[in-house]
Copies of this chain bind each other. A is one copy, B any other.
């Protein structure tokens, strides 16, 4: 494992005064982590330095050919005063899966975890403690060759930045309304849908704008081949409880393999509840909603953790779920996952990793 050189800021920023107004992804901490890659040295020279702008040649490949990968995870200040990460190795494994698909060199897992733990430790004072808040961790890689030709870059920067973030739902869980999109497509089998990379997100914007205009907060995507099977929400995976069975789309290469998704499945199995990862057609969903077999629906993701879905719209049909309220099982999942993350529920599954603050 490589030793990280630490240069502390001499001009610490003021921390947010009101933890009820953090929002998401707008405020950044005092430090950032940067590691460079070139073919001769591989990943080398890891540093923690004062948070500062990135300076790149205008021809840097990331600006032109989209060779970029990111991850998202959170650190929590727990009731017992300790700092915990939630399943960081799942994110690191996924990051390297994304890297392989995007022809970005893999990052050694131990250096990756050490980078996260050390940076969070350096900026531990920035972790908010108000219920529902956390420190969002954004690792990302960008291609930096100053070259205008299409090929994998030879040089990269791996950067981690931190953002104290508010509760996703300030006044408790609030069901969302979701638009099922049948015109635009996010990703397709054989493409880059299972990699966490910018191209999938820019592809989602036009449909997101359309859904917002119609009064829906998020888009549920259908598969790109038949436009028939449920895929994911873009910022979340999707779950349904149908006739007592929990059902979620199987990982098919175009869906992001969410860490919260995996945790929901693991918890259901742990509780002895039937779970099916399979293809779900939108017709099956509409039928289940009509007959009342569709008991609950929720999204899972790092930002919202568990997000109950109150309504789904497909073409001209609006499916109300739980009369727009919160399902008992969604609430139980939310309480359990956030409980484990924040140390209020015993971590019998060994999911959390503790971070020890650094002495100054």
Q: Which residues does A use to contact B, with CB under 8 Å?
A: 24-26, 28, 32, 51-60, 62-68, 70, 101-103, 136, 138, 140, 142, 146-152, 159, 161, 163, 183-192, 197-206, 208-209, 224-225, 227, 234-235
Contacts and interface: CB of A to CB of B under 8 A. Distances in A.
A118 B56 CA distance: 24
A202 B149 CA distance: 12
Task: Among A64, A140, A149, A197, find the residue whose CB has the most chain B CB atoms closer than 10 A.
Answer: A64
Nearest to A218: B150
Question: Which residue, A32, A163, A186, A187, has most C-beta atoms of chain B within 10 A?
Answer: A187
Give the number of times this chain occurs in the complex, counting copies.
2
Given A185-B188, A199-B202, A235-B150, A54 B64 contact: no
Q: Is the interface of A mostly helix, strand, loop or mixed?
A: loop
A280 to B, nearest CB: 19
Given A64-B70, A185-B188, A204 B150 contact: yes
Given A63-B68, A161-B58, A148 B152 contact: no
Contacts of A52: 58
Given A62-B63, A224-B191, A148 B203 contact: no
A25 B65 CA distance: 13
Contact of A205 (B54, B59, B102, B163): B102
